[in-house]
Structure 1
Amino acid sequence: MIFNGIFMVYSSILGFLVGLLSAIFLTIVSFLIHFVWDVIPQQFDLPVYYPLIFGLIGGLLVGLFRLRIGEYPKTMDETLHEFKTTNAVKYEKQLSKNFFSALLVLSFGASLGPEAALASILGGLVSWVGDRLKFTLANKEQFVKLGIGAMLSTIFSAPLAGISEPLEEELSRRTVKLKWKKILLYSLSTFFGILGFTLVQQLFPKEAVFDIRITTIDWSYQVLFLIVPALFSGIIFGYLFLAFERLTQKIAGKINRPIVLALLGGLAIGGLGMLSPYFLFSGEHELFPLSEEYLRFTAGFLFLLAIGKAFLTNLCFAFGWRGGKIFPAIFSSAALGFALANLFPYTPGLIVGIVVAASVTIILKQSVITAALLLFLLPLQFFPGILLTCLATKKIAVLADKYVNNL
């Protein structure tokens, strides 16, 4: 019981430090993005094609970094896999590589998120602490998962994301016996993570992050006829996102020249950035303005934005601009939802929520975690529909996989 109490204290401290680190990292990224994409063009009166210039400069830097240093930042899956296979996450001479590679990729407009870099940095820090406090392997692995859960809760403004991982595990085992101790640890780390994140955020101007604003909610019976089309639109888009992932990896494997690949990625970033700034960056800051402006765009543009953003995200990653895919996956799915809402303006928030929930469930292959991430993306009135969509999508995906395997 004494050890459990100490473990709870360490979990709380870990969560608080994760929140601080996540907020500081995101603040640095926001500052660099503002400097590169706002300050420099205004100060030097750059031509309209400056996104191409920045894309190619970023591509050259990313290519050189990858050629000389390696493939960084590591992803969450790579971090957890490394921990399970080597009993640790490397931190000597690794933290700086993950940190600066992520700043480089995110600052130059890649359609990728910060969660990959944060997970790898957190994993290294937890391993460093664990080596000095001589925790057992099981406890160190628990700390890595606690840290990642707290990080997801803070950057997505989704408190339940921290405890969704153990819930997902229990559901996958088809049992309702929840381990309350694990839930408590995740809850503590999440609470203190949000506390640390909020303290840092109070020091800087606030921006609407990871938010879709629905000013008025007018329920309409016509939405009943759109629920199934929205569900399957989201499922199809999720599989399309994964298809883009396989396609871009195949193309990258054939070229297999880091600098050329990174330059091509920068060219794609710059070219699409000239069409619309919505193609740039991870999407957490762009969700809010898109939700306010989507009626100004045609459904065709929103559809192309969804497809283009999904393709660019996977192309960036495969071509050496490494980062997280969760933020852009949510943004591109939301753009598809707004395209449907543009065509059929019946309770648009619910339609967007269903499309995003179905798509992201397919991409992440996890229903509870997806629902937890989307908890505060839309008004709470839509959350029951989002949760049911996630669960239904997971069932449909399982049936589809069985059907394909039996062919």
Structure 2
Amino acid sequence: MNFNLVFVFYSCLLGLIVGALASLFLALSNLLIHVTWTTIPEQLDTPFYPFWICLFGGLLIGLFQTYIGDYPRTMHQTLEEFKTTGRVAYEGAVVKNTVAALLVLTFGASLGPEAALISILGGLMTWAGDRMTWTLQKKKELLDLGIGAMLSTIFYAPLIGVSEALEDGVNRTNFKRTSIKVLLYALTTACGIFAFTTLNRLFPHEILFSISTPNVNWTVEVMYFLLPAVMIGTGFGYLFLLFGRWTDSVARNYPHPLGLALAAGAILGLFGSMSSYFLFSGEQKILEFSRIAFDQSVFFLISIAVGKAFLTHVCFSFGWRGGKIFPAVFSSTAMAFALASVFPYTPGLLIAVSVAASCTVILKQPFVTATLLLFLFPLQFFPFILVVAWLIHQGATRLTNHTTRTT
């Protein structure tokens, strides 16, 4: 990335826009969620309300998919479009992405807002770039910075953007370029978080993306359970991915948007009628859940973990598009609490390494995973999180390379 004052100015301005965009979008989605899930049920006495409202949401989403198009775009689609064409479509697409994402979030999908926000950001960035005659390289650099700032802002993880730069530069020899990239990510992220937190004070909101872990009370016995915790987390990560492959296969064999969306709504509504923890992405519920987790049965915790992982992919594959990172962390945390409730030796550490292993398998980025979890757990656990994330990634990479060579 070129380091000059004009580009630094644009980077900081981009960060402010990203933070404001994220705050306004989440405020609007939270308002719609409150009306749909609190205000309306208070006025109606409807049995099995979650089932009927999710089914109605499936109808709206299915009709939108059928007559408007395949929205909201996923993060992968946005990045692939930019890589292929050098731009992200914005003529009408920004509005379509916004409306589709709000439908998905409002009706309780087990998905997060990050994918929709990045597709919206990509469209706005392309619109601005067209009017300022930026080069393709400049557009790419600013889009990269914007995505890093967006992820850092909505996940309350300031170092995600920096870790993205480190992931890209870890195998490079151009350390000067990598250091400049890290600095620009840091500036953009700082501006994004400033704008996000400032605007958030204007809207009522709950504490997001925080986990309550037991006080750190080190015990020798925990060393015997670290490996099982890592293995369980790793296994759950692969189960999460397996659910995705299965639901994608079902969706390919039944390519009817309305039917798929209605099926997802019915399944989501059935699960939501059993527990509200199955609904939504989990960032607003994870703190509450972690406070009551040790009072629940192991069966309940495992059910929440597996059920939420399954629902995330049902929603995503069947047309309720959104981000998978928030529900991946929530479901991984539920599974980790199940383990820690059985082996209560420094339970916070067992939870941390299990979640780190699971999320590394799912995200495939060890530094991003570590920085995502940095502020979720006590700082004393971070070295363990970082080592586990790195080891899991190295093992997965070698396994993939070995499988490729043998086939």
Counterpart residue type for residue 39 of structure 1: T
Is 1:200 equivalent to 2:161 in the alignment?
A: no
Q: 1:362 to 1:172 in 2, by over 3 A?
A: farther
Give the whole-Å Cα distance in 2 for the aligned partners of 1:35 and 1:80: 33
Counterpart residue type for residue 324 of structure 1: G
Aligned to 2:25: 25
Aligned to 2:249: 250
| Greater displacement, 54-63 / 213-222 | 213-222
Gaps of 5+ in 1: none
Give the whole-Å Cα distance in 1 for the aligned partners of 2:171 and 2:369: 14
Give the whole-Å Cα distance in 2 for the aligned partners of 1:216 and 1:362: 27
Kindly indicate whether the alpha-carbon contact (under 8 Å) linking 1:16 and 1:196 is maintained by their aligned counterparts in 2: yes
Per the TM alignment, residue 150 of structure 1 is displaced from its structure 2 partner at its CA by 0.4
Q: 1:222 to 1:175 in 2, by over 3 A?
A: farther
Counterpart residue type for residue 15 of structure 1: G
Counterpart residue type for residue 400 of structure 1: L
Is 1:13 equivalent to 2:13 in the alignment?
A: yes
- The 3-state SS of whatever aligns with 1:36 is helix
Give the whole-Å Cα distance in 2 for the aligned partners of 1:206 and 1:269: 25
Per the TM alignment, residue 371 of structure 1 is displaced from its structure 2 partner at its CA by 1.0
Give the whole-Å Cα distance in 1 for the aligned partners of 2:153 and 2:8: 19
Kindly indicate whether the alpha-carbon contact (under 8 Å) linking 1:316 and 1:322 is maintained by their aligned counterparts in 2: yes
Is 1:348 equivalent to 2:347 in the alignment?
A: yes
Is 1:149 equivalent to 2:135 in the alignment?
A: no
> What percentage of aligned pairs have identical amino acids?
51
Kindly indicate whether the alpha-carbon contact (under 8 Å) linking 1:170 and 1:177 is maintained by their aligned counterparts in 2: no
Per the TM alignment, residue 338 of structure 1 is displaced from its structure 2 partner at its CA by 0.6
Kindly indicate whether the alpha-carbon contact (under 8 Å) linking 1:273 and 1:279 is maintained by their aligned counterparts in 2: yes
Per the TM alignment, residue 46 of structure 1 is displaced from its structure 2 partner at its CA by 2.3
Per the TM alignment, residue 173 of structure 1 is displaced from its structure 2 partner at its CA by 4.5
5 Å matches for 1:232-243? Answer: 232-243=231-242
Give the whole-Å Cα distance in 2 for the aligned partners of 1:321 and 1:277: 18
Counterpart residue type for residue 9 of structure 2: V
Aligned to 1:84: 83
Counterpart residue type for residue 10 of structure 2: Y
Give the whole-Å Cα distance in 2 for the aligned partners of 1:46 and 1:195: 42
Counterpart residue type for residue 8 of structure 2: M
Per the TM alignment, residue 175 of structure 1 is displaced from its structure 2 partner at its CA by 7.9
5 Å matches for 1:30-69? Answer: 30-47=30-47, 49-69=48-68
Q: What does the per-residue CA deviation read over 1:69-128, in whole Å, with 9 as the maximum and x for residues that have no partner? A: 111111111111111110100001000000000000010000000000000000011101
Q: 1:3 to 1:389 in 2, by over 3 A?
A: closer
Query: How many residues are aligned here?
Result: 406
Counterpart residue type for residue 336 of structure 1: M
Per the TM alignment, residue 385 of structure 1 is displaced from its structure 2 partner at its CA by 1.1
Aligned to 2:386: 387
Counterpart residue type for residue 130 of structure 2: D
Q: 1:104 to 1:2 in 2, by over 3 A?
A: closer
- The 3-state SS of whatever aligns with 2:221 is helix
Aligned to 1:320: 319
The alignment's TM-score, normalised by the length of structure 2, stands at: 0.97
Kindly indicate whether the alpha-carbon contact (under 8 Å) linking 2:3 and 2:180 is maintained by their aligned counterparts in 1: no
Q: 1:199 to 1:254 in 2, by over 3 A?
A: same
Per the TM alignment, residue 205 of structure 1 is displaced from its structure 2 partner at its CA by 2.7
Q: What does the per-residue CA deviation read over 1:44-65, in whole Å, with 9 as the maximum and x for residues that have no partner? A: 1222x11110111000000000
Q: What does the per-residue CA deviation read over 1:16-35, in whole Å, with 9 as the maximum and x for residues that have no partner? A: 11001101111111111111
Q: 1:383 to 1:198 in 2, by over 3 A?
A: same
Aligned to 1:212: 211
Aligned to 1:264: 263
Is 1:140 equivalent to 2:163 in the alignment?
A: no
Give the whole-Å Cα distance in 1 for the aligned partners of 2:99 and 2:32: 12
Kindly indicate whether the alpha-carbon contact (under 8 Å) linking 1:167 and 1:178 is maintained by their aligned counterparts in 2: no
Is 1:288 equivalent to 2:287 in the alignment?
A: yes
Aligned to 1:4: 4
| Greater displacement, 351-360 / 285-294 | 351-360
Per the TM alignment, residue 215 of structure 1 is displaced from its structure 2 partner at its CA by 4.8
Q: What does the per-residue CA deviation read over 1:289-324, in whole Å, with 9 as the maximum and x for residues that have no partner? A: 111000121111111111111111011010000001
Is 1:99 equivalent to 2:98 in the alignment?
A: yes
Give the whole-Å Cα distance in 1 for the aligned partners of 2:236 and 2:308: 12
| Greater displacement, 25-34 / 98-107 | 25-34
Aligned to 1:111: 110
Per the TM alignment, residue 177 of structure 1 is displaced from its structure 2 partner at its CA by 6.3
Counterpart residue type for residue 189 of structure 1: T
Q: 1:50 to 1:392 in 2, by over 3 A?
A: same
Give the whole-Å Cα distance in 1 for the aligned partners of 2:396 and 2:348: 24
Kindly indicate whether the alpha-carbon contact (under 8 Å) linking 2:214 and 2:347 is maintained by their aligned counterparts in 1: no
Give the whole-Å Cα distance in 2 for the aligned partners of 1:186 and 1:90: 24
Per the TM alignment, residue 403 of structure 1 is displaced from its structure 2 partner at its CA by 3.3
Give the whole-Å Cα distance in 2 for the aligned partners of 1:360 and 1:319: 23
- The 3-state SS of whatever aligns with 1:45 is coil
Per the TM alignment, residue 404 of structure 1 is displaced from its structure 2 partner at its CA by 2.6
Aligned to 2:272: 273
Kindly indicate whether the alpha-carbon contact (under 8 Å) linking 2:65 and 2:71 is maintained by their aligned counterparts in 1: yes
Q: What does the per-residue CA deviation read over 1:256-290, in whole Å, with 9 as the maximum and x for residues that have no partner? A: 11111001000111000011100000010111011
Give the whole-Å Cα distance in 2 for the aligned partners of 1:172 and 1:267: 46
Per the TM alignment, residue 399 of structure 1 is displaced from its structure 2 partner at its CA by 2.1
Per the TM alignment, residue 176 of structure 1 is displaced from its structure 2 partner at its CA by 6.2
Give the whole-Å Cα distance in 1 for the aligned partners of 2:322 and 2:70: 10
- The 3-state SS of whatever aligns with 1:358 is helix
Give the whole-Å Cα distance in 2 for the aligned partners of 1:174 and 1:224: 37
Aligned to 1:303: 302
Counterpart residue type for residue 114 of structure 1: P
Is 1:397 equivalent to 2:388 in the alignment?
A: no
